[in-house]
Structure 1
Amino acid sequence: MGPSQDMVTVRRLRRGIGVVGIAMPFVLTLGNALFAGRLTLLESISGAYHTGMRDVFVGSMCAIGVFLICYRYRPLDDVLSSVGGALAVAVALFPTASGARDDTVSATDILVGRVHQVCAAALFLLLAGFCLFLFTRTDPAVVPVTPEKVLRNRVYRVCGVIIVAAVALAPASTLLPETVQEAVKPVFWCETVAVLAFGVAWLVKGEAIIRDGSGRGVDPT
C-alpha cells in the first residue's frame, strides 16, 4: 500500500521549501548579473530587493513563507512552521536598507531595515531549530531506526550547526575593514551558506536525498 495523500503532500512541501532555498542565491546572483551586465556579488541575499531581481527575491521569500504556513505534521511542527512562514513573509515585505554608500537613508529606512534583520535572524535560528531538534527526533516504538535515519540525523545536525554559525558570523563580519567587505561580501556568503544548509536539510527530510529502502513514504520520526 502506498503513502497516503497527506504524506505525499507533506513530502512535496518539504521538497518545495528545499528547492526554493537552494535555488535562491544562484538565481538572484545570475539574474542580477544579467541586469548589471557583469557578474558581481550582492551585498547580501536580501540586498537583491534593491536590484532588478526584487520581484524574484520577494516572490521566493513569500513562496517559502506559504510553504511553511501550509506545512502540517505534528502540533509543535505546525506552530513553529507557521511562525517561520510569517517571518519569511516579513523578511520579504520589510526590506533591508540599501547597501549603496551614496544612498540617503531615512530614519524609517533604518527602522524597516532593523525589523528585516531581526526577522531574518529569527527565521534562520528557527530553521536551525528544525534541523537540530525536530528533524532528528527518533521514536523506535513507531519505526525501527535504520542506518539511513542515523545518517539523516547527522546531516540535520551539521546543517543546523552551519546555520547557527552563519547567523553569528554575518554581523561579526561587519567589523572587517570596508575594503575587505567590499571585495569579499562576507554577509552574502554567510547568508548563502545558511540558505543552502537549510535547503539541504529540507530536501533530506522530504526524502529527495538519503531515502529508506522500505518505501514507507514520509519519515514518521
Structure 2
Amino acid sequence: MDRKPLDTEIDHHTAKFIVGFIALSLAIFTDLLTPGVSIRSISLSYHLTDNARNVFVGSLCVISAFLWSYNGYSLFQAVLSKFAAIAVASVAFSPCDCFTGRFDDGVTREATMTGVVHTISAISMFIILAIFCWLFYLRAKEKNSKEAKARGLIYRVCASVMVGAMAVQLLDILGVNFSGITQRLTYYVEATGLFAFGVAWLTASRMLPFITNEDERIKIELAGK
C-alpha cells in the first residue's frame, strides 16, 4: 500500500555541508594515508597507497555526484554545477603525471594526455567553484542582516583564495621557479584551494551558527520527530 513519501533526506543545504566537509578533510587524509612520504601533490596519493587512492578517488566521486545533483537557483547555476561535476570526476579518473622530468636513472618521463586532462580538469574545477563562491556572495548581498554580510565576506575571500591558488599553480606550470619556497608547493596550493572551497560550501549550507540567522538556519532533524 502506497503511503505519503517522507521528507527529502538530503536537500541542497545538506549536500553543501557534506561536500564542504569532504573538501576540508581531503588534503589531510591523503597526507596521513601516505606515511613516510611528504607528498608533493594531493593527486600523487593516487600512485602511492591503496588507502590513499581509495580516499582520493572516493571523495572526489562523492563531491562530483553532489555537484551533479545541485541545480542552484537558476539554469546557469544548474549547467555550471554539471560542468564542475565532470571536472571533478575527470580529476579522479585521469591520474596525474606526478613522475615527469629527468630522474636519477637517467630516464626522462614525458607528460601524457591523461596527465594533461588531469591538470586542465583540476584548474577548471577550481575556477568554476570560485564562480560559485561569487554567486553565493551575490545572493548573500541581497540580504541586509549582519550574518548575511559576514557570509558575503567569507564567499569573497574564498573566491579570491581559489583564484590566487590557481594563479600560482599556473605560474608553476609555465616554469616560474618556486622551488625556493617549498618542494610541496603544489600540495599546499591544492590544499589551500580545497580549504577555501570547503569553507565556502559549509557556509552556504546555512547550518553554521553565528553567520546564519536563527530563522534561516537549517537544522538536521531525525525522521519521525
Q: Is the 8 A contact 1:43 1:99 kept in 2?
A: no
TM-score normalized by structure 2? Answer: 0.81
Q: Within 5 A, what are the aligned runs for 1:1-221?
A: 5=7, 9-33=11-35, 38=36, 40-52=37-49, 53-74=52-73, 75-99=75-99, 101=103, 110-132=112-134, 134-138=135-139, 144-173=143-172, 175-176=176-177, 180=180, 183-209=182-208, 210-215=211-216, 217=218
Q: Would the aligned equivalents of 2:207 and 2:217 in 1 still touch at CA under 8 Å? A: no
Deviates more, 1:188-197 or 1:40-49: 40-49
Report the Cα distance in structure 2 between the residues aligned to 1:207 and 1:193, rounded to whole angstroms: 22
How far has the Cα of 1:97 moved from its partner? 0.6
**Greater CA drift, 9-18 or 67-76:** 67-76
The percent identity for this pair of structures is 27
Corresponding residue of 2:222 = none
Q: Quick one: which amino acid aligns to residue 86 of structure 2?
A: A
Deviation at 1:73, TM superposition (A): 2.5
**Shift in Å, 1:61:** 1.0
Residue equivalent to 2:223: none
Q: Gapped runs of 5+ residues in structure 1?
A: none
Report the CA distance between 1:187 and its aligned residue: 0.9
Per the TM alignment, residue 196 of structure 1 is displaced from its structure 2 partner at its CA by 0.2
| RMSD of aligned Cα (Å) | 2.6
Amino acid in the other structure paired with 1:43? R
> Does the Cα contact within 8 Å between 2:140 and 2:148 map onto a contact in 1?
no
Q: Work out whether residues 206 and 217 of structure 2, in 8 Å CA contact, stay in contact via their aligned partners in 1.
A: no
SS at match of 1:136: helix
Q: Which moved more, 1:45-54 or 1:21-30?
A: 45-54
Cα displacement (A) at 1:216 = 5.5
Deviations 1:9-37 (A, max 9, x none): 1111001110110010000000111xxxx
> TM-score if structure 1 supplies the norm length?
0.82
Q: Which has the higher contact order (CA 8 A, sep 6+)?
A: 1
**Is the partner of 2:138 in helix, strand or coil?**
coil
Q: Rg bigger for which structure?
A: 2
Tell me how far apart the structure 2 counterparts of residues 69 and 105 of structure 1 sit (CA, whole Å).
39
| CA drift at 1:54 | 1.4
1:73-113 deviations in Å (ceiling 9; x for gaps) = 32222111111011100111111113374686766x52111
Once the two structures are TM-superposed, the CA of residue 125 in structure 1 deviates from its matched residue by 0.3
